[in-house]
Structure 1
């Protein structure tokens, strides 16, 4: 498997297969939303689009980065989301980096969205699909976010069967700028457990696949193949 690691600004052509990584916190939150029963997640291009999609169907749950503002139901925090019943609901998510990264590669033949909580499942899907060239989009800090790069490198290692040990990759993520900002309360819309929840390796048994549906980019859970 040929792998490359790029930031969002470096996505200048459509990759064949893309894994979009946002550990802290977009795709950890997405995984928790599915665990709490969400049917699908619409990845919105802007806050205005997220609000418009919710206005069109008030049963949708609108989620954003930062503080809770009028029209939105949830913030981008796994700690705050984990007690929310989302059974059968559609979540509309707009974040600073994760959703932007997924939309940047929306025309790829396969788009997986990932964090540590779905790392093994993501690697298994890549292996099962026989992906020969994979572009990992490191969404945070224009590709410099070490928590996202560490997760991407770990998934790549697992997908290629090199037996990557998670400890060092998780340590890098725990020591990242994003982890420090969450722990210190620099960011808004934060729960004290957010960092720990983002670093729970393989908490969930599914991967997450994004694909166009009715002109929208929609994320859905995908069962991971059993190990051979």
Structure 2
């Protein structure tokens, strides 16, 4: 298996083979928690105007996501797993748009298949990849608003690669680096409304979920299908 680690939108556009679009803080952690909390289907979209159109056409849909980390006007929830856990989501269809992760899905047009990546389902991702045995595996780190690489996404790519290659990896050391670095923003008092401290631990709850989220298409629209692994 040829494994490559790629970064940002250019990386998504270059991705070939089975592709993991990674967004740890917080898009693809949020998507997993949404399914845990009863969401029936998730439509990931890159264009926020498309999200608004889908809501207008389907008033029962819920809008979840962020721009500049904050909940956009008219959205039901921000891009926060802790906020989703308090919502009543049973049977809901969710439209999800973010500055990083959902952009990667929209731009990975050369991929043979796409799954989402976060630490919360890392073990399931590894099992899925081992079962598929792709010739090429692309691990795409979407970074912060697709603008620059971030440690959390790169750490997950390195974690997945090491596990697949049978190499040791120190997850706890990664968490401590993130707590003092890229994840420190979750502990800033002025950001608690949209990036609460609880999100840090929820996004780094390793192997919490035994499923992957695979990008499928229905009537020309991407959706995330939950596959138990």
Q: Give the TM-score normalised by structure 1.
A: 0.90
**Which has the higher mean CA deviation after the structures are superposed, 60-69 or 122-131?**
60-69
Displacement of 1:220 in angstroms is 1.9
Displacement of 1:216 in angstroms is 1.4
Displacement of 1:107 in angstroms is 4.6
Secondary structure of the 2:94 match is strand
Classify 1:112/1:99 alpha carbon distance in 2 versus 1 (closer, same or farther; 3 Å). Answer: same
Displacement of 1:205 in angstroms is 1.2
Secondary structure of the 1:74 match is coil
| Partner Cα separation in structure 2 for residue 21 and residue 39 of structure 1 | 22
Secondary structure of the 1:168 match is helix
| Partner Cα separation in structure 2 for residue 14 and residue 86 of structure 1 | 33
| Partner Cα separation in structure 2 for residue 77 and residue 137 of structure 1 | 21
Which digits, 9 at most, give the CA deviation of each residue in 1:197-224, with x for residues without a partner? 1111011111111122222121121111
Query: Pick from 126, 145, 155: which aligns with 2:160?
Result: 155
Corresponding position of 2:2: 2
Displacement of 1:14 in angstroms is 4.7
| Alpha-carbon contact 2:37-2:85 (below 8 Å) kept | yes
List alignment gaps of at least 5 residues for structure 1.
Answer: none
| Partner Cα separation in structure 2 for residue 170 and residue 129 of structure 1 | 29
| Alpha-carbon contact 1:27-1:113 (below 8 Å) kept | yes
Corresponding position of 1:71: 74
| Partner Cα separation in structure 2 for residue 18 and residue 38 of structure 1 | 24
| RMSD across aligned positions (CA) | 1.9
Corresponding position of 1:90: 93
Corresponding position of 1:174: 179
Corresponding position of 1:131: 134
Classify 1:186/1:23 alpha carbon distance in 2 versus 1 (closer, same or farther; 3 Å). Answer: farther
| Alpha-carbon contact 2:121-2:209 (below 8 Å) kept | yes
Which digits, 9 at most, give the CA deviation of each residue in 1:17-53, with x for residues without a partner? 1111111010110110010011221111211110111
Corresponding position of 1:198: 203
List alignment gaps of at least 5 residues for structure 2.
Answer: none
| Partner Cα separation in structure 2 for residue 221 and residue 22 of structure 1 | 17
| Partner Cα separation in structure 1 for residue 227 and residue 80 of structure 2 | 22
Corresponding position of 1:36: 37
| Partner Cα separation in structure 2 for residue 132 and residue 143 of structure 1 | 28
Displacement of 1:186 in angstroms is 6.1
| Partner Cα separation in structure 1 for residue 174 and residue 197 of structure 2 | 22
Aligned length: 223
| Alpha-carbon contact 2:21-2:105 (below 8 Å) kept | yes
